[in-house]
Chains A and B, each alone.
Chain A
Amino acid sequence: MTRRPVVVTGVGLVSSLGESLGEHVAALMGGEPPRIDAERFAPYPVHPAPPITWDPQIPKKSDQRQMEPWQRLGCYAAGLALDSAGLKDDVALKARMQLIVASGGGERDWAVDGQILTGLRDAADPGAYLNERLMGDLRPTLFLAQLSNLLAGNVSIVHGVTGASRTFMGEEACGTDALRIAEARVAAAQADIMMVGGSFNAERPDSLLVFEMGGYLWSHPYVPVLERPAQGGGFILGSAAAFLVIESEDHAATRGARTLARLHPVGSARTRREPGDVERSIERLWREAAPAPDATILSAATGVAGPTQEETVTLTRLGPGRPYHALGDLVGHTLEASAPVAAAVGAGLILAGHASDVVAPIVGHRRGEGLVRLSAMS
């Protein structure tokens, strides 16, 4: 089946570094130190979200209030992407624009959780006590801020993007697969234009808790991602959101859109993560993507011992001498948002003329290997 060329025409990116593509590219090229908050969740550092004035992208306070931070961040980045694509006011096009969002969810009310746990300790009838407190203390609207698909729902409400809407869950891999399926749908003419992205809020003790149970969190002062495996390994979570508007090259040309980069077919794989599996996956995905000899490598490596080393060794072997950046040193580990963030930064590098070809390997901390490739238009 003939594949239509797919191009990126809009990017929205928010992280600890700010909310412009330029700031991210400058930080990457200038090797600036990351912005880290080491105090708030000590001993676990995080890359915090920047201060944001929400109103320009989420005008209604009632909408802002109805979202938890991960949704707000994502909704904001989606607005930036629409602006960047010149589509903010194109009501008709947004109404048929399809959406794939990579997302976690389940943000909790930590204070309520703590109070209930405290009370449960001495409750004569724990079951009845739990019911009473949940009925009395949970905010009814919190549920809607917890549902994974409600980031997409908020993008529909706030921005009027109301074509087909799908939410993929599942840590790093779901971001890769969101890009993969979005690209494939446009390439196969199942859609002309799509918005795809993800969002992650690192500043959540309930989220830190899940990863700390698995032993994946870095609990020392910042050390660059690729140096961490030798010191026990681990990731520093980062708050970030990225959305991309992608469309067929013809569709972009017809509407006179500015094209930022080409998006190539996205590769993803699942293995059992036996030793050597990451290496084999990355090698296969690399060969399928066939990056240019001067391609810049933009790795979303987590810093977790094992997969990070396998990835690094493999990439160094496959693409020796290429510019090599670890996204984690820039924005932290952004879980579901990793692949969209990588694609956004990659598009930024290409737009700024720092690269003509970018490959972004996305190796999940527990599962899933992927490779996203973008290249310059010419």
Chain B
Amino acid sequence: MAADTDAQGRPLVAVTGLGLVTSLGCGQDETWAALTAGRSGVRAITRFPTEGLRTRIAGTVDFIDLDALSAPLLSERLAELAGREAVAQSGLGRPGDFPGALFMAVPPVEMEWDQRRELAQASAATGEVTYVDLLRAAATGAFRPWHDLFTFGTVADRIADRFGTLGSPISLSTACSSGATAIQLGVEAIRRRETDAALCIGTDGSVNPESLVRFSLLSALSTQNDPPEGASKPFSRNRDGFVMGEGAGALVLESAASARARGARILGYVLGCGEKGDGFHRTRSSPDGAPIIAAIRMALDDADLGPDDIDYVNAHGTGTPENDKMESLGLTSVLGERMKSVPISSNKSMVGHTLTAAGAVEAVASLKTIAEGRIPPTINYAVPDPAIPLDVVPGAARDAQIRFVLSNSFGFGGQNSCLVFGAEPKTAT
């Protein structure tokens, strides 16, 4: 049996519950089955008209029934579904009474065009519409619920209320590494012995016209709309950007000691976290990859592992020309020649880039990979990039015994977060 503390004397952080919702399905089993079958959840967008847009595809979650669709409402619903699955699996607490903190990666919310239009209409403005008109409509008090809907803390607050988590819920954003940051914050709180348990969720349901256009204007998105399932091509030479995706991933983290004390089934451990900022540019990595390299090294050190211990890399693997090149450079710098034979795959080839949720979604997939002994593939790898000589597990899932997984997450604003998951801590194996 493993010890309750790690090599540095800190509480070991166990994972006792997982929850997952993606365009591939609701629940970890549905998504996992599709991921290992190499199936794509990317499809033509039907949620809004896509005329005139360069990108008309996304990995949207279309099976959720909501009265009114908006990013915060869908994000909340996805988080609730994933959270419920994770908490149920952990068996921790009682419904509505989760004995731990909540760390949530949520998309920064904003009022959307449907609501702006409704306010403009209610203002009865006949000339040029300005914010003065919108404010006049707002002052009638007829739009009260939209205050809550469009304040940044609401999604996490509602989840905190529903799950009965302890203390002030954290709503966080580190752009596309947010999901990993939520897990890091949970790990750190348990290591400080501030809490025995944490519910860490990353959620994103923000495929709407303006979000899509924003990424499109930065030339970040794939424009290969036909066929949709072929658009996300991480590590391929013809990769041309990412595909937006929606989903949520949830993890119940517990100190190993308290998980064991209540006889919980431990699904794996978060052994290490590494994070390094990059001050080079708002959207691009330092050309030498130093911050990515530092983040990977810190995660390995934190996990008390060496580069040779990593059996599999769950890639950030967005499919943008820049990311995949820099990720490969960073990994090769740390893992050396061996990186050529370490399997690495990108879940984003199938579910798209779930943005705020990605780090959490991929954490769940990483832990499933360990538990099932099966590596999900990178699909759409028809044209290898000679500049990225990696084993990307092309096309089909592969059986393998995986003890330690490195999961990378990188984001705009110089965010680099790496997590290491393990079946057991190394000292116990």
Chain A residues packing against B (C-beta within 8 Å): 1, 44, 66, 99, 104-106, 108, 110, 113-118, 120-121, 125-128, 130-132, 134-135, 138, 140, 142-144, 146-150, 152-154, 156-171, 173-174, 176-177, 180-181, 184-185, 188, 190, 205-206, 208-216, 219, 268-270, 272, 366-368, 370
- A173 and B168 contact, CB distance less than 8 A: yes
Contact across chains for A170 and B153 when beta carbons are under 8 A apart? yes
Q: Inside 8 A of B276's CB, which chain A residues have their CB?
A: 162-164
| Contact of B15 with A by CB under 8 A | no
Asked if residues A147 and B413 are in contact (CB atoms below 8 Å), the reply is: yes
Stretch in contact with the other chain, from B124-132, B244-252, B260-268, B395-403: B124-132
Which residues on B sit within 8 Å (CB–CB) of A173?
153, 168
Q: Are A211 and B147 in contact (CB under 8 A)?
A: yes
Q: Which of B87-122 contact A (CB under 8 A)?
A: 106, 108-111, 113, 116-117, 119-121
A-B contact pairs, 6 of them (CB 8 A): A118-B128, A130-B113, A135-B217, A166-B174, A166-B185, A210-B111
Quick one: given A114-B130, A166-B181, are A149 and B135 in contact (CB under 8 Å)?
no
Q: A135-B54, A162-B276, A212-B139 are in contact. List 9 more A-B contacts (CB 8 A).
A: A121-B129, A125-B51, A132-B52, A140-B217, A150-B175, A157-B282, A210-B147, A213-B147, A268-B168
Q: Which of these, B153, B161, B216, B279, contacts A368 with CB under 8 Å?
A: B153
Kindly list chain B residues whose C-beta atoms are within 8 Å of the C-beta of A114: 128-131
From A157, A209, A268, contact of B111 by CB (8 A): A209
Residue B333 interfacial (CB < 8 Å) = no
A143 to chain B, nearest CB (A): 4
- Given the interface pairs A134-B210, A162-B279, A169-B171, the reply to whether A117 lies near B48 with Cβ below 8 Å is no
- Chain A residue with minimal CB distance to B216? A135
Q: Is the CB of B147 within 8 A of A216?
A: yes
- Complex formed: what's the CA distance from A63 to B278 in Å? 15
Contact B135 A188 (CB under 8 A): no
B173 in contact with A121 (CB, 8 Å): no
A173-B168 Cα distance, complex, nearest whole Å:
8
Beta-carbon contact of B52 and A135 below 8 Å: yes
A residues in contact with B52, CB < 8 Å: 128, 131-132, 135
Report chain B residues within 8 Å CB of A154.
282, 413
A185:B116 contact, CB within 8 angstroms:
no
Q: Which residue of B lies closest to A188 (CB)?
A: B192
| Contact in complex: A1, B193 (CB < 8 Å) | yes
Known A-B contacts A114-B129, A149-B174; A270 and B167 likewise in contact (beta carbons under 8 Å) = yes
Smallest Cβ distance from B140 to chain A, in angstroms?
10
* Shortest CB distance B368–A (Å): 27
Count A-B pairs with CB separation below 8 Å.
Answer: 252
Specify which of B153, B161, B185, B413 is in contact with A152 (CB 8 Å cutoff): B413
Which residues of B have CB within 8 Å of A134? Answer: 209-210, 213
User: Is B191 on the interface with A (CB-CB < 8 A)?
Assistant: yes
B53 and A106: CB pair below 8 A? Answer: no
Given the known interface contacts A1-B192, A156-B278, A269-B168, the answer about A130 and B218 at a Cβ–Cβ threshold of 8 Å is no
Which residues of the partner chain B approach A132 to less than 8 Å between Cβ atoms? Answer: 52
CB-based contact B188/A185 at 8 Å: yes
A300→B20 CA distance, assembly (Å):
39
The residues of B with any CB-CB pair to A shorter than 8 Å are 48-54, 106, 108-111, 113, 116-117, 119-121, 127-132, 134-135, 138-139, 141, 143-144, 146-148, 150-153, 156-157, 160-161, 167-175, 181, 185, 188, 191-194, 209-210, 213-218, 275-283, 291, 411-415
A209 with B135: CB separation less than 8 A: yes
Write out the residue numbers on chain A whose beta carbons fall within 8 Å of the beta carbon of B54: 135
Interface centre among B54, B160, B216, B415 (most CB of A within 10 A): B415
Pick from B161, B214, B277: contact of A165, CB below 8 A. Answer: B277
Query: Are B171 and A215 touching (Cβ within 8 A)?
Result: no
Instruction: Say whether, besides A128-B52, A190-B191, A212-B139, A177 and B170 are in contact (CB < 8 Å).
Output: yes
Distance in angstroms between the alpha carbons of A219 and B140 in the assembled complex: 13
Q: What separation, in Å, do the CA atoms of A174 and B188 have in the docked complex?
A: 18
Chain B residues within 8 Å of A269, by CB: 167-168
The complex places the Cα of A206 from the Cα of B277 at a distance, in Å, of 31
- Taken together as a complex, chains A and B put the C-alpha atoms of A240 and B357 apart, in Å, by 31
Q: What A residues does B291 contact at CB under 8 A?
A: 162
Q: Which of B48, B131, B134, B168 contacts A127 (CB 8 A)?
A: B48
Nearest chain A CB to B181's CB is how many angstroms away? 6
Q: Which residues of A contact B214 (CB under 8 A)?
A: 138, 142-143, 146
Contact B120 A210 (CB under 8 A): no
**Which residues of B have CB within 8 Å of A210?**
111, 146-147, 150-151
Chain A residues lying within 8 Å of B156, measured Cβ to Cβ, are: 170
CB–CB A206/B412 < 8 A: no
Query: What is the CB-to-nearest-CB distance from B138 to chain A, in angstroms, rounded to a whole number?
Result: 4
Determine if A270 and B169 form an interchain contact, defined as CB atoms under 8 angstroms apart: yes
When C-beta atoms are compared, the residue in chain B nearest to A190 turns out to be B188
Known interface pairs A104-B152, A209-B131, A209-B135. Does A127 touch B169 (Cβ–Cβ under 8 Å)? Answer: no
